[in-house]
Structure formats: C-alpha cells, structure tokens
Amino acid sequence: MAYYAFLDENNIVTEVIVGKDESNFNWEQQYSSFRGQVCKRTSYNTYGGVHNKGGIPFRKNYAGIGYTYDEDRDAFIPPKPFNSWILNEDTCLWEAPVAMPELTQEQIDNKNYYTWNEQILNWEIKVKE
C-alpha cells in the first residue's frame, strides 16, 4: 500500500490518498497527469526523518493536509504552530525556542500538562479538567 499527496500551486498538500505501489511504474506521474496536480508519494511510517518500522525514511514526514512540500529538502513540513518556533533542519519538524520541561510524578498524577504560550515565549503548566 502506498500513499500519495496532491499539492496546490504553492506546494501545500490538499489531499492524501491511498494508491498503488510504484514498483516499476511512476505512479506519482500517473496521478499528477490524471488530476492535473503535482503528486508526491509519502510514507505513513516516516516521522521526523525516522521510519518507525526500521525501514528507510521517506520525505522526512508523512504528508497531511496543510503540510508544505519543500522541493529542496524533498520533505513534507507541517504547518508552523507558532511564529516563534524554529524548523529543525534534520527532522523538518517545528520546535519551540525553549525546551518543554519534564513533568514530575506528582504533576502527572494531578493530570497536569504543558501548553505553549506565545505571548511569554515559554511553556505553561495546566491542569486537565
């Protein structure tokens, strides 16, 4: 089973479909011609440049609607969650400018979690309600 992402004129993913494995046939080109949209294969098992089943990672990340295909990196990049976040060139994932602190066991027991606060450019602890 193979997955394919269709791109708009700005290289933004508009749809991801299940398609045929490439084997000896260029399905990217076939789907592109059929739809009149650029089509790129994506790997369901690739995240952050790592294949979760030990295989060869493919295009850094599995494509999702709204992701950008970067031709120079041959990678799918998710939408930037906050203006302050920085693209990790190795994983093609966005990272906060401040590392998220680890929760203590007590915080975990109290169902606390962290959220990013763009106004203060830092993590805030919250309580799950």
CA distance 5 to 110: 41
Q: What is the pLDDT of residues 30-48, one digit of tens each?
A: 888 888 999 999 999 999 9
More confident residue, 25 or 102: 102
Task: Give DSSP secondary structure letters for 73-120.
Answer: TTEEEPPPSSTT-EEETTTTEEE-SSPPPPPPHHHHHTTEEEEEETTT
- Segment 94-103 shows an average pLDDT of 97
Residue 38, beta-bridge partner list? 7
Going by pLDDT thresholds of 50, 70 and 90, the confidence category of residue 20 is confident
pTM higher than 0.85, yes or no?
A: yes
